Amino acid sequence: MDQVINCAIAVDSPLDVDAIKAEVRSSIMLKHPRFCSLMVRDSCGREHWRKTQVDVDRHVIVRHNPLSDGDPSISDEDAVNDFIADLSVSSPLPTDKPLWEIHLLTAHKTLVFRVHHALGDGISLMSMLLSCCRRADDPAQRPTIGGVGSASAAPNRRRWSVLVLVKVVWFTLIYVLEFVLRVLWLKDKTTAVSGGDGVELWPRRLASARFRLDDMKIVKRVVADATINDVLFGIISCGLSRYLDIRSPKALPEGLRMTGVAMVNLRSQAGLQDMSKLMNSNSGSQWGNKFGMLLLPVYYHRGGSDPIQFVKRAKAMIDKKKLSLEAPFSYKIGDLIMSLFGAKAITMHMVSYAGIADLQILVAKEIIPDPKVLAKCFEDALLEMKEIAEAASKS
């Protein structure tokens, strides 16, 4: 997987460079073999890990000057977003040292972690990060977060019945066949957000859409058995439709399909993992990349559509996807999938913290020159859904 994860963490206090380096040296990270190894190729071109000595000073890179050259009109968030967007296409990780870096942007009180995806998936890496932290109210305790990245579609969690079994077989056949057809030759029609050849090398821009989790929960309550993920996908579908209404010079056909690719955690245990189990090769929850992929179609609907319908359609579609074995299938042919479904014109990640959900939107700026407009479309979609949901609750 030739992909690099870029993660920014902003803090309130000034960064203490020496203290951060000391913490890194004593952390569990440097006890993990992948963080202390070079990725090398043998004479046959096969990649493998080779143990090496870690020089923390080469991995912790300090930048004292402001990224925006002191321009007061550029916020810290925008400056850091531009910095990460440039890193994502212009700065591969050097292969003469283990594949991770920490950039300390002291003027912006921000740390930027860069980790090659070969070192682990989101669950592994977040579990490691949390193991290096302590609770603010009790420094002797590690923080705990339950229910993150749960493998809700894991087959061994389902209540099996004849009807469920029939649905699993039927939806698996449908979605796996569609997956294969998409890999081989089926393509979406070109829109204002479609990429092109070599899009993974195009310059990027990064913007954030910000949601209140309480607002998402209000919408969730008016759609029977909906989840936050259903609401999120409804927001994305509605927001993209709004954005296409703005960007498209001529009317698009109602129901036009755009195909997204979503990662799904395949670990049997829900939530962040215990580090001792992750680092134990004999445990059932091993380190590494344990995720599959689902094709999630997004359908364009003209302005004026009831935004709650986007959530209802998202829930109906995702429920069927959860019943299928599409994600385990894609995991088994992961090498092929990653080569075909690599970088896209739009990549989105959501992280929720302290009641706020941030949706990071990384775009190819030649395709989407105004990512803040797209972010506003997503935010407005949720606010309209919330208003309708509150009115429905009162009535």
For the segment 86-97, what is each residue's pLDDT rounded down to a tens digit? 998 888 899 999
Separation CA 58–CA 231 (nearest Å)? 43
Task: Classify residue 166 by burial, with Cβ atoms within 10 Å: 0-12, 13-18, 19+.
Answer: exposed
pLDDT of residue 291: 86
State the chain's mean pLDDT as an integer: 87
Instruction: Average the pLDDT over each of 78-87, 225-234, 315-324, 336-345 and give the range with the smallest value.
Output: 336-345
Separation CA 259–CA 252 (nearest Å)? 16
**Measured torsion, CA atoms of residues 349, 3, 260, 200, in degrees rounded to the nearest 10:** 110
Token pair belonging to 324:
């299928």
pLDDT of residue 156: 47
**Residue 172 amino acid letter:** T
pLDDT of residue 78: 93
From the candidate CATH numbers 3.30.300.130, 3.40.50.1220, 3.30.559.10, 3.30.70.1150, the one assigned to the domain spanning 4-119: 3.30.559.10
Token pair belonging to 176:
């796996």
Q: 24 near 312, Cβ under 8 Å?
A: no
Token pair belonging to 133:
């932290």
Instruction: Give per-residue pLDDT as tens, 124-173.
Output: 888 888 888 888 888 888 777 654 444 444 444 556 788 899 999 999 99
16-38 average pLDDT score: 93
**What is the residue-wise DSSP string for 361-377?**
EEEETTT-S-HHHHHHH
pLDDT of residue 149: 45
Separation CA 360–CA 378 (nearest Å)? 11
Q: 188 near 259, Cβ under 8 Å?
A: yes
Q: Which residues have CB under 8 Å from 370's CB, separation 6+?
A: none
* pLDDT grade for 334, boundaries at 50, 70 and 90: low
Question: Domain limits of the chain?
Answer: 4-119, 155-394
284-310 average pLDDT score: 86
pLDDT of residue 175: 92
Number of Cα atoms under 13 Å in the Cβ half of residue 297? 18
Q: In angstroms, what CA-CA distances link 338 with 2, 14, 331, 332? A: 9, 39, 10, 11
Instruction: Give per-residue pLDDT as tens, 151-164.
Output: 444 444 556 788 89
What residue has token string 């010079």? 249
Helices (H) and strands (E) in the chain, counts: 12, 11
71-77 average pLDDT score: 89
Whether 385 has a pLDDT exceeding 90, the answer reads: yes
Q: To 10 degrees, what angle do helices 307-323 and 228-247 make?
A: 130
Q: What does pTM read for this prediction?
A: 0.87
Instruction: Give per-residue pLDDT as tens, 108-122.
Output: 999 999 999 999 888
DSSP 155: G
What is the distance between the terminal CA atoms of the chain, rounded to a whole angstrom?
A: 51
CATH architecture of the region 155-394 = 2-Layer Sandwich (3.30)
Cα–Cα–Cα angle for 126, 323, 122, rounded to 5 degrees: 10
Most confident of 2-11, 100-109, 246-255, 268-277: 100-109
Domains 4-119 and 155-394 share a fold: yes
pLDDT of residue 246: 94
pLDDT of residue 150: 45
Q: 154 near 40, Cβ under 8 Å?
A: no
